[in-house]
Structure 1
Amino acid sequence: MKSPALRYIILINIGIVVLLALFKYVLIENAIFDNPLPGEPASLYQQFTEDTIHVDHTEFEALLDGRGPYYLAADHPKLIQYVRDNVLIPPSTLPYNLTHPETKNSSPEGQIKRALSILKNKKNGFFIEAGALTGEFWSDSLSLERFYDWTGLLVEASPTSFKELKTKNRKAWSANCCLSPKPYPIKVTFDPSYATGQIVDTDTSKVKSGQVVVQCFPLQTLLLAINQTHVDYCSLDIQGSEMDVIKTLPLDTIDIKVFSIEHVLIIGGKPVISGYMKTQGYTFHSTVNIDMFFVKH
C-alpha cells in the first residue's frame, strides 16, 4: 500500500505532465512558426495571425533564409508587410520605354494568343508572369498590358534581367526575387544565365563563379501583399520549379483561371503535371510549344 506521501508525489507528477501537455497545445495553436516533421505534406502548415508570439527584427531576418528549424508561414502579416515595403515595385505611371514598340505580339510562340482564346479576349484582366526576364522580349504578358488593358505581377530572379525590366515602365507590379519552392521564404543559389536562369541549389554556402544568392518568397505572399487573390492567367517559366511553386498555393483561396506551365524540366513530365492539376480542379486544355495550358473547372 502506497504511503500518503508517495501518493501525493505521484499526483503532483501527474499534474505536471498534464500542465506540460496543455502548455504544448497552446504553443502549437498560437505559435507563428511551424516546424513540420520530415515527410509532412505542405497542407499541414499552419496558418498564422497577428496576435501571436512576437518576432523581433533579428529573428525575422534569420527566418528569411528558410534554414529551419522554424519557418515563417506564407500568410504571416509580418512577412506580407515586409514584401510590400521592401520587395514589390508598383506599376509604372510613365510611358512605355520599349526597345521595339512596333512589335504587337510579345509572345511569338503563341502563349498570349492561346490564353486570350481561352478567356474570350478578356479585357482588364490580371496576370502572373514568373520568369519575366527583361519584361519585353519573349514576354507572355506585355501584349495583354498594351492592347487589352491588363495589369499583373512580374517576377524575375536575375538581378541583371530585372534591372532592365525596371526600365520598360511596365504597368504591372514587379519583384526581383524567385518564387519559393516551399510554403515559406528561403534563400537559394541561382544561376542567372540569360533565358535559362534557374535555382541550382538550396545550399547557399558554396556559390560558384557566375552564380548569385537570391531571396525566394511564396507566390501566395506576393499576391496577398498586393491584395490580389483572383488571377486570370498565370504563366510559369521557372526552369523546373513550376510544380513545386504550384504546390505551395492554396488554390481553394487563390483563384487562378488559366495556367501555362513549362513542362520540359519537370521530373515526370506531362503525366505528373496533368495528374496533380486534375486533383486541384483543373482540366488540361492544350500545349503551345513547351507550355501546357490548364483551365479551372
Structure 2
Amino acid sequence: MATLLTHYLTHYFPSITLQDTCNSDCIDTFFAGVHNLASPALLPTLRAHFLYPPTPIPAPTEHFDVGRPVWRELLNWDEMQTILKDMWEGQPPGVFVEVGASDGEFMSQTVMLEKNLGWTGLLVEPDPRAFTILQQKRPRAWKSPVCIHRRAPCSVRTLWVHDLIPDLPDDLQALVRARSKLLHETVVGDLKQGRTLRVPCVPLSRLLLAADLTRVDLLSIATGTVADQLKIRDVTSSNTFFVKTVLIQYPRAYLLDHPYPFVPGYLLDMERSLLLTKLYWRKTECELVGEGECRRARHYDLVESCRKFRCLGKFTVWTFALPEDGVGEGNSTLGSKPVAQ
C-alpha cells in the first residue's frame, strides 16, 4: 500500500481535480509509525511526500502588477501590498510562509514579495484544484498540499470545497476556490454548494522543520476561520522559530468580539494594520521609544495608539502594547468601540 501511495502522490496528486482517490486509509499508511510529533519518521515523511521544492529557474523578469486583478480591492488587499512593499523594498530578499495560499495569486499576501522583491518561502494549500495552479504560478517557493492544525499526531481530515461556477471568469473563479475550508469550519448553509474530500493535516511547526525553515520574515495566514491565530501558535510561541512579522486575516465576526486581537510575544501594529488584516511585530525585535504620546491610528477601527516602538531597528510601530496575559491596560475603553475618523 505504501508503495502505491508513493506513486500516487509523486505522479498524480498535483494534477487531480476532486477525485478522492487517496482515502483516509491510504494517507494514514504514510503516517504509520508516526505516533507523536517527536517521531523520527515524521520529518522525512513530510519532506519526501508532502513538500514540493522550488523549481530552479532564473530570477523573475516580470513584476506582478498589484493593480491588475479585478479583486484587488477586496479586504484592502492592494493597500496591504503597498504597505509590504514600503516595508521590505531595498532590503535583501526575505523568507515568507503563507498558510491558505489558494492558487498562489488570488489574495496572496506574498506573491508581490516573491515576484517583485525576490523572496522565497513556503506556500500551504490543501485544495487540490488551487494547488495545481499554485505549482505553476509560484515556482520559486516550497509548496505543500496539506491543511494546518496543532494537534498531534498528523491526521486526515475532511475538506469542503465549493463547486466551481460555470462561465465565471478565471479571476472570479479563484474567489470560489478560495472558500475551501475544513468541514467543521464550514457554514452549514454552504454544504450543498460543494463536496468533500480527505486531506492530510499536520502542525505548521513540523512542516517548517521538514522544509528547514526556522527563520521567517513574514508569516501570513488566511483560512477564513476564527482559529487562525491558534493554528500557528506552535510556531510563534516556540524558541525553535524566529518569525519577524505575522499577518493574520480575521473574520469580521471574530473582530466584533475581539477588536484588537492579541498574539503572545508580538506587538499589534496599528499604523499598518487594516480593517480585517492585522500586522504584528516580534516583541524581542522592538524597543520602546515613546509612551503616553497618543495619536490617531490610520484606520477607523483602531483605537488611539499610545506607545511607540522602533522594530527591527528601522520601522516605527504604534500600538497600545498588550501585556502577555492578553488583557490591555484600560481594556474597557480600548476595546469598547471603534474610533471614528
TM-score w.r.t. length of structure 2: 0.58
Larger Rg: 1
SS where residue 224 of structure 1 aligns? helix
Q: Distance in 2 between matches of 1:126 and 1:116?
A: 14
Task: Note the C-alpha offset of 1:109.
Answer: 2.8
Q: Are 1:264 and 2:251 an aligned pair?
A: yes
Task: Note the C-alpha offset of 1:169.
Answer: 4.6
SS where residue 137 of structure 1 aligns? coil
Q: Distance in 1 between matches of 2:59 and 2:134?
A: 11
Q: Distance in 2 between matches of 1:59 and 1:273?
A: 42
Correspondent of 1:90 among 44, 48, 53 = 53
Q: Distance in 1 between matches of 2:28 and 2:275?
A: 46
Q: Distance in 2 between matches of 1:153 and 1:266?
A: 29
SS where residue 82 of structure 1 aligns? helix
Q: Distance in 1 between matches of 2:256 and 2:245?
A: 19
* Matching residue of 1:104: 65
* Matching residue of 2:199: 214
Q: Are 1:72 and 2:33 an aligned pair?
A: no
* Matching residue of 1:239: 224
* Aligned sequence identity (%): 25
Alignment of 1:138-287 (within 5 A): 138-193=107-162, 194-201=177-184, 210-240=195-225, 241-249=227-235, 250-264=237-251, 267=254, 271=258, 274-275=261-262, 277=263, 280-286=264-270, 287=273
Answer with 245-254 or 150-159: which moved more: 245-254
Structure 1: which 5+ runs fail to align?
A: 1-56, 65-70
SS where residue 206 of structure 2 aligns? helix
Q: Deviations over 1:82-126 (max 9, x none)?
A: 0000010001124699xxx66422874333332344456532100
Report the AA paired with residue 282 of structure 2. K
Q: Distance in 2 between matches of 1:96 and 1:219?
A: 28
Report the AA paired with residue 230 of structure 1. R
Q: Are 1:294 and 2:277 an aligned pair?
A: no
SS where residue 232 of structure 2 aligns? helix
Q: Distance in 1 between matches of 2:234 and 2:210?
A: 16
Q: Distance in 1 between matches of 2:135 and 2:268?
A: 34
TM-score w.r.t. length of structure 1: 0.66
Q: Deviations over 1:207-251 (max 9, x none)?
A: 986111111111111110121100000110012131221223343
CA distance 1:218–1:269, shift in 2 (3 Å): farther
Q: Deviations over 1:10-43 (max 9, x none)?
A: xxxxxxxxxxxxxxxxxxxxxxxxxxxxxxxxxx
Structure 2: which 5+ runs fail to align?
A: 1-26, 163-176, 186-190, 284-341
SS where residue 77 of structure 1 aligns? coil
Q: Are 1:129 and 2:98 an aligned pair?
A: yes
